[in-house]
Amino acid sequence: MKNTLDFYRKIYEPLFKMENYTKSLNRAGVAITKFEEFIDKNNIKVDNVIDVGCAWGKTLKYWKKKGTDVIGVDVSEKIVEKCKRQGHKSYLASATDLSMFKDKQFDLYMATDVYEHLRIKDLRNAIEEAKRITKKYLLIRPHPTLDKRGRRNIKKALHLTVWSIDQWQKFFEESGLTIVEEIENNVFLMSIKK
């Protein structure tokens, strides 16, 4: 189940062919702002970040501007190539297989509006990969509702896992994560249990 790139590419690559789909959205904005407040308040240094599901590269641009080493990952070839043209380090990969990265390589793992796009059977691999490559924090924003936008002529939801916030919290805790802070309603800042 680890190698799911082809499965997710078939679903999500077409979305990025529609230039306006998700391009105007900045779903990570609130999460980043709140995380910055947290690290400032607690005097935490973040040297490197991975953004899984980096989409159009807004988060990559943000971290790069701050002088932080940042890498993006997405299932869309179009997105990865666009991010590379903008000067960002980005890779084609699924959240379930980040084997190109070393253990404990990143201070911060980000996944904004990604986990609800994974099948339930793939969530365990995704969170295990996240824990493996992260040494400090995970900032994950799962969306708790259905979404059918962007799938013209196809009556299939884009959100493959629709759980309540309480179900997401339970999943994260059962996966060996400690919720350090719930930022907003559906943004979880977590660390790996020692």
| Cα 8–Cα 9–Cα 11 angle in degrees, nearest 5 | 65
**What number of other Cβ atoms are within 10 A of residue 185's Cβ?**
8
Query: What is the number of structural domains in the chain?
Result: 1
Least confident window among 31-45, 101-115, 168-182: 31-45
Number of other CB atoms surrounding residue 90 within 10 Å: 23
| Banded model confidence at residue 19, pLDDT cuts 50, 70, 90 | low
22 pLDDT more than 70:
no
Residue 28 pLDDT grade (very low, low, confident, very high; cuts 50, 70, 90): low
What pLDDT is attached to residue 25?
Answer: 54
What range does the domain containing 97 cover? 5-192
> Tokens 């379930």 map to which residue?
96
At residue 115, does pLDDT exceed 70? Answer: yes
Is residue 32 predicted with pLDDT exceeding 70? yes
Strand ranges for the chain from DSSP E: 48-52, 69-74, 89-92, 106-112, 134-141, 177-183, 187-192
Nearest to 2 by CA among 117, 116, 105, 93: 93
What local confidence, expressed as pLDDT, does residue 154 receive? 42
**pLDDT-based confidence at residue 103 (cuts at 50, 70, 90):** very high
pLDDT of residue 1: 44
CATH code assigned at 69 = 3.40.50.150
pLDDT, tens only, 130-176: 999 999 999 998 877 666 554 444 445 677 787 888 999 999 999 99
